Amino acid sequence: DTAVSQTPKYLVTQMGNDKSIKCEQNLGHDTMYWYKQDSKKFLKIMFSYNNKELIINETVPNRFSPKSPDKAHLNLHINSLELGDSAVYFCASSQDRTQYFGPGTRLTVL
């Protein structure tokens, strides 16, 4: 009965490839988020969707494209991967103010 789940947990790929990370929540929350945590453990918001509508879109390269097919899912597609994209990507969801995080996807770009 996982609340917020992400796949895959680990992703190792070559520079220039395109990859996707999937997120699903079974909490019935209306809002979902993508965060990036870099090697210095700094956690930064990238995107947020509320009921499939994009509401937060931080300064992120347009190689990153979120997609929300329904309010329980928020996927992140990354084109033309670069070395600097290596990080842990966390998905989160919330109904009101408290955000609940998924287990993270560790992306390594070689």
Partner 1 sequence: GQNIDQPTEMTATEGAIVQINCTYQTSGFNGLFWYQQHAGEAPTFLSYNVLDGLEEKGRFSSFLSRSKGYSYLLLKELQMKDSASYLCAVRTGGGNKLTFGTGTQLKVEL
Q: Which residues bind partner 1 (CB under 8 A)?
A: 4, 31, 40-45, 48, 55-56, 90, 94, 96-104
- Cβ distance to partner 1 smaller for residue 2 or 65: 2
In the complex, least distance from residue 103 CB atom to partner 1, rounded to whole angstroms: 5
- How far from the centroid of its chain's Cα atoms is residue 46's Cα? 8
- Cβ distance to partner 1 smaller for residue 48 or 68: 48
* Residue 110 DSSP class: -
In the complex, least distance from residue 65 CB atom to partner 1, rounded to whole angstroms: 20
Beta carbons of 71 and 56 less than 8 angstroms apart = no
Q: Which amino acid is at 81?
A: L
Beta carbons of 25 and 92 less than 8 angstroms apart = no
Backbone angles phi, psi at 83, to 5 degrees: -55, -40
- Cβ distance to partner 1 smaller for residue 15 or 55: 55
In the complex, least distance from residue 16 CB atom to partner 1, rounded to whole angstroms: 28
Nearest to 17 by CA among 69, 68, 77: 77
- Cβ distance to partner 1 smaller for residue 14 or 39: 39
